[in-house]
Amino acid sequence: MAKQALVMGIDVGGQTTKLGVVDARGNILYQSVISSLQRELSSYVEDITTAIKDLISQSENDGVIKGIGIGAPNGNYYKGTIEFAPNLKWAYDENGKPMVIFLANMIRDIIGIPVAITNDANAAAVGEMTYGIAKGMKDFIMITLGTGVGSGIVIDGKIVYGHDGFAGELGHTIIVRNGRQCNCGHKGCLETYTSATGVARTAREFLAERDEPSLLRELDPEKITSKDIYDAAKKGDKLALEIFEFTGKIMGEAFADFVAFSAPEAIILFGGLARSKEFLTEPILKSMNDNLLQMWKGKIRLLYSTLKDSDAAILGASALAWEL
């Protein structure tokens, strides 16, 4: 009997890189994790290729891995590169200059299997379209709410890569002119308000500006997480609820502008902060509908990823590999 075809999906995160062997039905058969914190590119490439080889050995009896898909910060689908990835030390030379890393070709040359790469948010969107709530959808926008805010834009059933392969940086559209300082160097990017760190920043601002009581005052302001705010909101904490209202309002304003661009069927939220949907949905929808043109009011769906966070990234990256 011929062995079944398998693919490998790899999610390159700021802290860890997750690898998984995936079958045609979207089951993750084997998984492993390595650190992403290496200083040198050569160390990272050695670690990741070792992990890939181990997974290939493990899955030898189950099937043949025909391709590897990688989701990575600023992964470029056209060139198979990682470029300008501020969270990855090994993506910068000793003078702190960003390097263009031909990761897809490097891995292909060592492992001998075709490799495709895209950014993590695009990978999540492909995963959602292949296995998740976006199955059958041709026009949607995936917003990933993590340490940063990423986006995967699907138009007419295809990921939008743009002229240079870098399209879909919606976390860096400017939602508050001259607003909060962003890591990218600009001020007021969506990411500074609606990422997990952005929401924690909102909490610190609200706590400093107001004097009403709040469960959040019991915490070290510098260590407040979006999970803490969720927990407080669950207990009815008024300030925590207002933080989600503020966050949802900003998201809705941004999403209305995105709808004016590509008129998607749905906006799909993914990532840690999306778990606070019970507090975010209403303010997002109100704000989005307040800001949409008449013809779109009440018509754009707000959905949440149905895939587990870690699975979605691996599955999405792996889905790229089926096309190799």
Separation between Cα atoms, residue 83 and residue 310, nearest integer Å: 23
* Residues in region 119-138 near a copy of itself by CB under 8 A: 138
First and final C-alpha spacing in the chain? 23
Phi, psi of 292 (to 5 degrees): -80, 150
Report the helix count and the strand count for the chain, using DSSP H and E: 9, 12
- Cβ-in-10-Å burial (0-12, 13-18, 19+) of 233 comes to buried
Nearer Cβ to a copy of itself (82/243): 82
Separation between Cα atoms, residue 316 and residue 260, nearest integer Å: 27
Binding mask 68-107 for a copy of itself (x = CB under 8 A): ------x--------xx-----------------------
Query: Shortest Cβ distance from residue 160 to a copy of itself (Å)?
Result: 6
List the structure tokens of 123.
Answer: 């990978």
Query: How many C-beta atoms surround the C-beta of residue 124 within 10 A?
Result: 32
Contact 21, 57 (CB under 8 A): no
* Residues in region 263-282 near a copy of itself by CB under 8 A: 263-265
Query: Shortest Cβ distance from residue 104 to a copy of itself (Å)?
Result: 18
Query: Shortest Cβ distance from residue 178 to a copy of itself (Å)?
Result: 11
Query: Shortest Cβ distance from residue 166 to a copy of itself (Å)?
Result: 5
Nearer Cβ to a copy of itself (24/293): 293
Binding mask 178-217 for a copy of itself (x = CB under 8 A): ------xxx-------------------------------
Residue 177 as a binder of a copy of itself (CB under 8 A): the answer is: yes
11, 120, 128, 169: which one binds a copy of itself (CB under 8 A): 169
Query: Shortest Cβ distance from residue 291 to a copy of itself (Å)?
Result: 6
Contact 99, 93 (CB under 8 A): yes
Separation between Cα atoms, residue 200 and residue 226, nearest integer Å: 6
Query: Shortest Cβ distance from residue 173 to a copy of itself (Å)?
Result: 4
Residue 160 as a binder of a copy of itself (CB under 8 A): the answer is: yes
Q: Which residue has the tokens 């661009």?
A: 261
What 3 state SS string does 168-223 have? Answer: CCHHHCECCCCCCECCCCCECECHHHHCHHHHHHHHHHHHHHCCCCCHHHHCCHHH
Provide the strand spans (E) within 95-189.
115-118, 140-145, 149-155, 158-159
Query: Shortest Cβ distance from residue 268 to a copy of itself (Å)?
Result: 13
Query: Shortest Cβ distance from residue 295 to a copy of itself (Å)?
Result: 5
Nearer Cβ to a copy of itself (61/294): 294
Binding site for a copy of itself (CB under 8 A): 74, 83-84, 138-139, 153, 155-156, 158, 160-170, 172-174, 176-177, 184-186, 253, 256-258, 260-265, 291, 293-296, 299
